[in-house]
Amino acid sequence: MPNIAATSPVPLTLDAVEALFNLPFSDLLFQAQQVHRRHFTANQIQISTLLNIKSGGCAENCGYCSQSAHYDTPLVRQGLLAVEEVVNAAKAAQAGGATRFCMGAAWRQPTANDMAVVVAMIKGVKALGMESCVTLGRLDAAQVSDLKAAGLDYYNHNIDTSRDYYDKVVTTRHFDERLATIALIQEAGIHVCSGGILGMGESRRDRAAMLLELATLDPQPQSVPINLLVKVPGTPLANAPDLDIFEFIRTIAVGIILPRSYVRLSAGRESLHDEAQALAFLAGANSIFYGDKLLTTANASSDHDRALFRRLDLQIEG
């Protein structure tokens, strides 16, 4: 396994990462594209599809989330989907070009009955020849073992923001709890998908600290989703100030401190103009969530994505 610090273009310290953020914009993107091409095939993009397999009723109070039971949002609650319905959705995603199928459920931690159904979903997706990913909240060692036995490829567990800013966003769980679940996933040999959300009122230094936290995981996450806050009515962050789009692109580019990680444009992408997405790809983003919906929020349409790929000469991986 390569030494983590040796693979980073800068020392893995907060001051060094923040200095990378502070480079002139063109210099940062130029460096990001160079690092990206050393580790990935140029002009290639990986696409994943995300399905919400259960909506609402979550006991956590994440300030951005429409699914929290703490807030009055427009979300309609939905119980856990049937396995057959999920597998059929995976087949449709595969026909559309997706190579990975991600399943998300709004839980603090799944029950034994929930886990049995999710395990069947994973096995159904794997039988199609697709990579599987789930996000289910906090896990214990036995639950991680069950997911490993089912053949799970990726587990998504975002850290959301920096350690220092975390309690400004959620207070029903602690930052170290997120890291503890990630550690269990890594110990089991399941790939980690972990990133954050931008535009929640955090500072540039918070964004640098979030990326640094991910970069110092050993191993680094194989996939890093970068979300732009979707302002959901009824949540505490519904009126958060807009994040400057160039700050969003800078954050993508500073992802080069995780040089072997896929950086995925995730929630909020439907609000990005084509030009902004093109800059994000130039900055090193090489994965997207594909499909008309992400969990409970809208996403860019598949037809539009394919047209954009053609205009940018991007080839779909796999």
100 catalytic, yes or no? no
Asked if 280 and 314 touch (Cβ cutoff 8 Å), the reply is no
62 catalytic, yes or no? yes
Strand partners, 132: 101
37 catalytic, yes or no? no
204 catalytic, yes or no? no
Which tokens go with 101? 């199928």
Asked if 187 and 180 touch (Cβ cutoff 8 Å), the reply is no
Catalytic residue among 100, 102, 178, 250: 102
Nearest to 55 by CA among 15, 13, 104: 104
Helices 274-282, 245-254: inter-axial angle, 10-degree rounding = 20
The C-alpha atoms of residue 130 and residue 91 are separated, in whole angstroms, by: 9
In terms of C-beta density within 10 A (0-12 exposed, 13-18 middle, 19 or more buried), how is residue 54 classed?
buried
269 catalytic, yes or no? no
Catalytic residue among 100, 133, 178, 207: 133
Catalytic residue among 178, 193, 207, 269: 193
Which tokens go with 311? 């205009």
DSSP 271: G
108 catalytic, yes or no? no
User: The tokens 């539009």 sit on which residue?
Assistant: 304
205 catalytic, yes or no? no
Catalytic residue among 250, 264, 269, 311: 264
The C-alpha atoms of residue 202 and residue 67 are separated, in whole angstroms, by: 22
Catalytic residue among 65, 178, 207, 269: 65
Catalytic residue among 58, 100, 250, 269: 58
Q: DSSP string spanning 145-160? A: HHHHHHT--EEE---B
Strand partners, 223: 193, 262
CA triple 187-258-245, angle to 5 deg: 125
Asked if 276 and 249 touch (Cβ cutoff 8 Å), the reply is yes
Active site residues: 58, 62, 65, 102, 133, 193, 264
